Amino acid sequence: MATATFTSHCLNCEEQEDIYVCKGCLKTFCYQHLQHHREEINQNFNQFQDNSNLFRENIIDQKNQINNRPSIQKINKWEKESIQKIKQTADKCRERIIKYTNEYITDIQKNLNDISEQSKQIRKENKLNESLLIQLITKLEDLKKELDQPSKFLVEQQQKLTSFIHKIDILIPRSK
């Protein structure tokens, strides 16, 4: 608080009687100006508390809206773009397999039609024998195997790193 002193004068009005020293700033005031000085200190303290409360609310808002932070948005954008690249690549691969499989099945159907025509011709000409029957059965079995296990394409996942998707990482400074 303030103590009385008689060797100084009021900083504001130059009065020399009933002078008080503020222990906080060590300035001297008369009683009237000391009261005014105390009011300024209280107003400044109230302003400090208001600023502190606003800052606390800002911290809470930051915590509650963590997904709106630029760094999180950057990660979300990277994720979305990476997923899009993966989907595009998967779609292209599926299209290639579908196209190949359709061509492949068409070839098998053509070969099956050829076998059917041969069998009709054999029956028509009445030239059926065990050897021809074994050949037809073998051709049909081969076509079945070919349809069930196509060996002409392979789905391969590349093991080497490429620039297809750039990995991201977070660098966090060490605390002192």
List phi, psi (to 5°) of 29: -140, 155
pLDDT along the chain (176 residues), means of 10: 62 88 93 95 97 96 88 93 91 88 91 96 92 95 87 68 68 68
Contact call for residues 12 and 33 (beta carbons, < 8 A): yes
130's CB contacts (< 8 A; 6+ apart) are: none
User: pLDDT value at position 68?
Assistant: 86
Domain regions of the chain by residue span: 2-64, 66-148
**One-letter amino acid for residue 34 of the chain:** L
DSSP 174: P
Buried b (16+ CB within 10 A) or exposed e, 134-146: eebeebeeebeeb
Neighbours of 150 (CB within 10 A): 15
C-alpha dist (Å) from residue 107 to 5, 17, 48, 136: 113, 117, 84, 17
**Three-state DSSP class for 101?**
helix
Q: What is the share, in percent, of the chain residues with pLDDT greater than 70?
A: 85
Give the global pTM. Answer: 0.55
**One-letter amino acid for residue 8 of the chain:** S
Neighbours of 63 (CB within 10 A): 8
Per-residue pLDDT tens over the stretch 129-139: 999 999 999 99
